Every structure is written in structure tokens, then in C-alpha cells.
A and B are shown apart, each in its own frame.
Chain A
Amino acid sequence: MSELNLTDDQLDCLQELINIAMGQASDQLARYLDTFVYLKVPNIESVDAKDLMSSLSEQQNTLAVVSQGFFGHEGIRGEALLVYKEEDSGRIADLLGYEPDELSQDEQLIDISSILTTTFLNVFARQIDNQMSYNAPKLLPQVQSNLSEHVQHMPFTWDLALKVNINYQVTDYSFNCNMILLIPEKAITKIKLVLDRILLDFS
């Protein structure tokens, strides 16, 4: 398991790539929403399976989790989970510019999640010379009890989870969610190679 963990340098480099990806994603988002999007520097954390499980089952007042699979070349693939808390989800409709009653809260959550995940991962993939395809996003049913169960019963075994805390401020709406990227071993090895290459270019 330990050779899967990222070194400090690799983690720094990854944090930088994610900063850039998040920045570009929020820029695109701002253009699309035609409003000012302020983004705090996302905080990333790499967690192993056991720790993720316990932190997920501890997480209180989780309102919803939207899950979306992604896959690129050379075994880079995984699943993105967007985790929303109750207090952060109230004004997504306003944020997306929908009319009241135009669509259900479920659909709003799925829409914003898909936009966040795909814009972010598209930019991220480009930086590591890859290109992503996506599965349709899915809202997990009855999240309260099932989140850790879902993570345990993924259709693939994942070995590393990257937890990216995203904090968006869109004009007067503040909006907060956690993006958790679950990544299998083969993809981690590949990402580490790319990170090492980038590190070498800068040393």
C-alpha cells in the first residue's frame, strides 16, 4: 500500500495541477453562468480506503452524493463523488439560473455536479496529456446509511482516494462541496509517473 502513497513532492505537484484545473474550471463556469465566481484554493488530501470509510460514516447531515465515473487512456480512470451538506445546497437553482419549479432538486444537484466534475477533470486530463470520457452522473439513493456501503461495493477496486474540498463563492451565493476522487492502483501508478515527469521538467 505504501508505494501507492504520494511523496510530498508528488503531492505538491498534484496540488498545483488541481489548483490550475480548478481555476480554469471556475473560469469556464463563470463565463457559463455569466457571473463572478470566486474560488478559494482547493484543499486536497489523500486518504486510504480505511480512513475514507470511517470519515464517510462519521459525516453528519450529508444531504446528497452524486457519483460519476470517468475514464481516459492508459488506465486513468476512477469515480468522482460530489458530497453536499444540507446547508450548502439550498440555492443551487439560483446559481444555475433556473426558474422555480423548472426542475427538481435532484436534477439540480446532478446538473451542477456534472458541470463541476467534467470541467475540472477535462482541464486536469489535458495537463497530464490525457482525455476523459464520462459515465452519466447518478444520485445515490438514501445517502445517510449507504455512502460507505456504496464506496465498498464499487464495480472496481480503488486504492487511493483524493479528497478535494471545493469552495465556490458565486456573487452572493456561497457554495460548498467536497469532491472525492476514487482512483484504482493502475491509474495511481500512471499519475505518479506523470507527476515525476513534470517534477523533473522543473528541477
Chain B
Amino acid sequence: MGNSETCAATDNAQVLTVNEHVIKQINEQVANQLNTGVLVIDHAFTIVICNRFLQVHTDKNIDDIIGENIFIAFPELPERWLARKLNAALQLNTPSFCSWEQRHHLFELPHTRPITTGSEFMAQNCTFLPIETDENGMHVCILIEDVTDVCHYQTQLQKTLDDLALMSRIDGLTQIYNRKHWQESLKQEYAKARRYDKDLSLIMLDLDYFKLLNDNYGHQCGDMVLIEVSALIDSLLRIEDIFGRYGGEEFAIIVPEAQLHGAMELAQRICKTIASTPLTYNGQELKVTISLGVAQLSDKESNYEALITLADKALYAAKHNGRNQAFSLTA
């Protein structure tokens, strides 16, 4: 212990000459231990240096690819695009980047977690760094970072956000739009209809004697009826119609680009279909009917709420007239 200390102190010059070699050794070993691919090419795209990362992740032998053109050594690379990228780094002497978000990977390297991710290859962030050398001119150092984990978690996060966005629009019980989303849609459809001078109709509907159904057969039966009726109505609509649950047993349909008679036809078809489709609960047949109010946007409404009020009035009239029917009103 004491011996080596004196040695280092007395022979400083020798330590310094050794240093350069030692530093080179350290540099090489660090480069080979890095969990990042390091690939250096010259201005003719010939591979000059390649660290162990690429050998570990491919079945290529480093000695075989040194001196080879990068596009021959890695035929999977998009040649035209990458050549431009490399030329940009060489000519402008500025770094250039390629993110997994735009291109999932450049090099086809398998990753270490094949079960949990969607892609068979390692997601990569690549950096192209210009390097100037005294004798051989410009080179480009390509750094290849493994970002499979980032890609995986980001993809999961995005999926979760999409699910949440969907959940915030959907009514949990009936799986149709909830009141909030439906109302926002109506606001937009109203603005569109006004701006482009298009027709717009609205159907409000309500299950007849729903309270009795709940009282006689229980709330589970009521829930079943709400689910079945929603699905049935949904199957009768056009793709552009917007169907939502307005309140407990009240539903609403936005019918864009439809005049009153068209919307009325649809309402009557829905009314008949519900009345003629038998629903059973615990082996008992239920008689389910609905009442519908239909209204068309005219010059008189100054906001979308006025259209709801009008359709609501029509619904009230349908109830008043004996239920199981559609009724229309014009302002």
C-alpha cells in the first residue's frame, strides 16, 4: 500500500506517458460497456468504429462490418432518407436527430422485452453528430439509444388517455353518449346548422311508466330495459345521428340535416320497433313503450336550448295524447 504511493509520487513523468494509453483503454472499455450504440462513419458512409452494443444486439461480427458501407452492413436502413440526414450533419456541421415518435426504429435490433411490447424491434432515438478529425475530414457519429421502455409506457399512457376520453363521453350503464357530451354535440351541430344554413332536427324520448316498471320488477329490471331500449334505438340510427342519455329514463337524438317529416318518420319507426319488440325479465314478458317529441330548428330559436325546450314540449304533448306515440311541434 505505502509502497505504491511512493512509486506514484516519484515517477510522475512515467505516469503521464502511461496515461494516454490508459485513457484510450478506458475510453474503449467505456464505449463497449455503454448501453447505447456508437457507430462512426466517414464522409463516404464507411463504418470506422462500432461499439459492442451493436454486436450484442445483432448477430454481426464487429470486425466484419468495420470498413463496410453502412447501407450494406445494415440493409434495413432507409437509404435515401438517411443519406440526406447524414449529409446534413456533414455539410452543416450540426447535429441531427431521429426520434422513435416519428420513426419507431432505424436499425432492426431485437429488444430485451419481447413479451410486453407491440413491436418486434427495439424503439430507438438516434443522434447524428458531426465529428471533425485532423487527417480524415468529417465523420458522423451515430448514437443509438434503446427507448423501448419509453415507447412502451408512452403507448400505454396514450391508450389510457384515449380510454379516459371515451369514458368521459359515455354513459356507464347504456354505453351511449352521456348528457354532457351529447349537449356539447348539440351545441356544435346548432352552430354548424346556423353557419351553413342547414336543417337540424331533434328527438326527445322517454320510457312510458318507467317508475311502475321499477316498482313492480325492481331496479335491475329497469336497468336491463334501459340497456335494451338504448341498443335497439342505436341500431335504427344513421351514423351521423347523435344519441345520448339525457336523464334517468329520458333519451335524446340529434338528427343533423333532417327536416321535421324525416325526423318524424324516424321517431315513428323507433316508437313501433320498441312497442313490437318483446323484452323479458326473469321469464316474464314486459310491455315497454316510449313517447317521442320531435322538433325542427327554425328561424325563431336563438340558441340550442330553445330547440330542446321545443322538443320537450312535443314530448309532453305525446305523453298527454296517450303515450306510445311520436308528436311533432314547430315554433
Contacts and interface: CB of A to CB of B under 8 A. Distances in A.
A99 B93 CA distance: 24
A178 interface: no
Given A102-B81, A115-B88, A136-B125, A107 B103 contact: yes
A118 B99 contact: no
Given A103-B81, A107-B102, A110-B102, A28 B125 contact: no
Given A110-B99, A110-B102, A102 B88 contact: no
B94 interface: yes
Instruction: Give the interface size class of chain A.
Output: 20 to 34
Interface string B94-125: 11110101110000000000000000000001
Contact of A32 (B92, B95, B102, B127): B92
B94 A122 contact: yes
Interface string A94-120: 001111001110110011001100110
A42 interface: no
Contacts of B81: 98, 102-103
A122 B92 CA distance: 10
A104 B92 contact: no
B95 A134 contact: yes
Contacts of A119: 92, 94
Contacts of B97: 110, 114, 134, 136-137
A98 B99 CA distance: 18
Is the contact region of chain B dominated by helix, strand, or loop, or is it mixed?
mixed
A122 B93 contact: yes
Contacts of B87: 32
A139 B96 CA distance: 15
B23 to A, nearest CB: 22
B300 interface: no
B229 to A, nearest CB: 37
Contacts of B95: 114, 118, 133-134
A102 B78 CA distance: 10
Contact of B91 (A32, A107, A111): A32
A28 B87 CA distance: 12
A174 B88 CA distance: 21
Residue from the set A98, A99, A102, A136 with the largest chain B CB neighbour count within 10 Å: A136
Contacts of A102: 80-81
27 contacts: A29-B92, A31-B91, A32-B88, A32-B91, A96-B84, A102-B80, A102-B81, A103-B81, A103-B102, A104-B102, A110-B97, A110-B99, A110-B102, A111-B85, A111-B96, A114-B94, A114-B95, A114-B96, A115-B92, A115-B96, A118-B92, A118-B94, A122-B93, A122-B94, A133-B95, A136-B127, A137-B97
Give the top 6 A-B pairs by smallest Cβ distance, nearest first: A118-B94, A136-B97, A107-B102, A32-B91, A28-B92, A119-B92
